[in-house]
């Protein structure tokens, strides 16, 4: 689904506050988003439509780690944000660091 979200490019900075991430548009914001509880886990959406999508569509609650290629639950993921506000989800800190290393030689 494309909601005008930025395509993440370049190194990512680890997000310290997941509450500021819309997990549907995969975009970082400067204020807390709407918490959405599903099966004991908390996800965040920027609007009622995103809240509904997180509640009703399991695919919106997962992403694929670009390093391990494994599916990760967005509520438990290590989240990185690029300079353009795009968000990438990782299985762990190691994968985020490995992702960033590919930009060190440029």
Torsion angle of C-alpha atoms 68, 45, 16, 98, degrees rounded to 10? 20
22 burial via Cβ count (<10 Å: 0-12, 13-18, 19+): buried
3 burial via Cβ count (<10 Å: 0-12, 13-18, 19+): middle
Over its length of 106 residues, how does the chain's per-residue pLDDT go in tens digits? 334 455 667 899 999 999 999 999 999 999 999 999 999 999 999 999 999 999 999 999 999 999 999 999 999 999 999 988 889 999 999 999 999 998 876 5
pLDDT in tens, 58-83: 999 999 999 999 999 999 999 999 98
Q: For position 84, what pLDDT does the model report?
A: 83
Q: What residues form DSSP beta bridges with 55? A: none
Domain ranges of the chain: 13-101
């Amino acid at each position: 689904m494309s909601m005008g979200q930025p395509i993440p490019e370049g190194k990512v900075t680890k997000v310290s506050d997941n509450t500021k991430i819309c997990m549907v548009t995969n975009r970082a914001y400067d204020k807390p988003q709407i918490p959405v509880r599903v099966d004991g886990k908390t996800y965040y959406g920027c609007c009622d439509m995103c809240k509904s999508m997180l509640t009703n569509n399991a695919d919106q609650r997962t992403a694929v780690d670009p390093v391990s290629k494994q599916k990760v639950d967005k509520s438990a993921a290590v989240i990185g944000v690029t300079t353009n506000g795009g968000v990438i989800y990782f299985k762990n800190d190691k994968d985020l660091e490995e992702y960033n290393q590919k930009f060190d030689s440029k």
